[in-house]
Structure 1
């Protein structure tokens, strides 16, 4: 794949997407967002890829949307552009997505991070939704995903004030999974990605599917959905391999079938 604003590669079952506008702190213009989504969907269809990692080149993950690009927009032009249809494609990715973030994770960059399944942050990383200071608000899922993670009152505080959230605070509120030294960010992220890549791929997909449903479904509906996915896994070769390996006291070799 060839892109203008991101770099991609595949190594050891891990598909890497690296935001590549370091001179602009990886600010997200519309073309860049489209490229990110195209890469995600390409990795989703690539059998060799079992886990996807998103990170940013330079000293920031992303400082947010490219404000210069949207200054002259009006409601009708935005409606016709329908730019958030690109963002909506993230929800169709069933493979695990790990975000490796550092520096500034602001605005649209924060929304992209929140769309990841797991987040590892470098020491000193700061998160923020500063849109209110520009007279606007998040539009790619920020108000929704943040609220589901931290609850109404804390989400409103951070969205209304635009205050920066330190990595330690983000960890305390369940926004991120782990804080590591900046120089170890990709090493630790790769280690986690490799661990997941050795797990049965279909199990990972259906676990992600079930957990996502738990966010919106009632407990009863969620349990019924979970049960359906549980039954489905007994039709996979990986289920047979996993249980046979357990009985034979050996490591399983999962093929994603």
Structure 2
């Protein structure tokens, strides 16, 4: 059985790809095979002119329970930092189009770290988030100790990492880990709707905007501002920018072609 499932959205031609993690017997634990399949599918989405935004989800019980502890028991540190898994994780992190997480159930450990790789996070009311690696005598190893302090206060990040305790969706929204909180069972629908709105925008500009915002997490302010200006210059060179300006001036809806 494939560990990554492609789901047709309710609006064919919307430019949205819905990807579902598909290891229900292990609560969508992030095995090496699953991460490689996910990286492969995202690479195909990146290369497709038809796909402009991606929604990533699990099922009603779990977005993902985290790293596969069975693999860790068998292979030790290589289960986490072996080149095959590590390269897949880096490829997912490098995905250049808008990526939206739709979270129902638990997003623990590596599952929560995968959520943090997404650009927008929609959570059902019963979702829960945690970094429980300390209960295994370790610490977050897929970016949690670095990405959490960039989204939360130091105290909030320390609480998650040092206690291993879960927070509910309402707390995650209040702390800034979640952008949209919806009734349980409605996360995918909301995420697809957001993705469709993004997909209707100029796709080159969307990719450049994503890169510019992410730069803020990785550089000093002055370097980030320089990067932002460069992305704006690139956007001005696209036909979509010309189309957007012309459409605004003539009071019509723009038709973006990704050029």
TM-score range, shorter chain: over 0.9
Counterpart CA distance in 2 for 1:188 and 1:202 is 23
Deviations 1:73-116 (A, max 9, x none): 34578665453221111232110000000111111110111110
SS across alignment from 1:47:
coil
SS across alignment from 2:96:
coil
Alignment of 1:1-257 (within 5 A): 4-9=2-7, 11=12, 12-75=14-77, 81=83, 83-257=85-259
Q: How large is the Cα RMSD of the aligned pairs?
A: 1.7
Residue pair 1:106, 1:127 contacting (<8 A) in 2 also: yes
Residue pair 1:25, 1:58 contacting (<8 A) in 2 also: no
Shift in Å, 1:46:
1.0
CA shift in 2, pair 1:26/1:81, >3 Å = same
Shift in Å, 1:24:
2.0
CA shift in 2, pair 1:187/1:250, >3 Å = same
Shift in Å, 1:136:
1.5
Counterpart CA distance in 1 for 2:162 and 2:128 is 17
Counterpart CA distance in 1 for 2:214 and 2:172 is 20
CA shift in 2, pair 1:241/1:110, >3 Å = same
Counterpart CA distance in 1 for 2:139 and 2:96 is 28
SS across alignment from 1:119:
strand
CA shift in 2, pair 1:78/1:150, >3 Å = closer
Kindly report structure 1 stretches of 4+ aligned residues shifted beyond 6 Å.
Answer: none
SS across alignment from 1:110:
helix
Deviations 1:169-214 (A, max 9, x none): 1111110101111232222111111100101001111111111111
CA shift in 2, pair 1:188/1:70, >3 Å = same
CA shift in 2, pair 1:163/1:100, >3 Å = same
Residue pair 2:72, 2:79 contacting (<8 A) in 1 also: no
Q: TM-score of the superposition, structure 1-length normalised?
A: 0.94
Counterpart CA distance in 1 for 2:114 and 2:64 is 9
CA shift in 2, pair 1:203/1:25, >3 Å = same
**How many aligned positions are there?**
255
Shift in Å, 1:26:
1.2
More moved, 191-200 vs 145-154: 145-154
Counterpart CA distance in 1 for 2:183 and 2:101 is 15
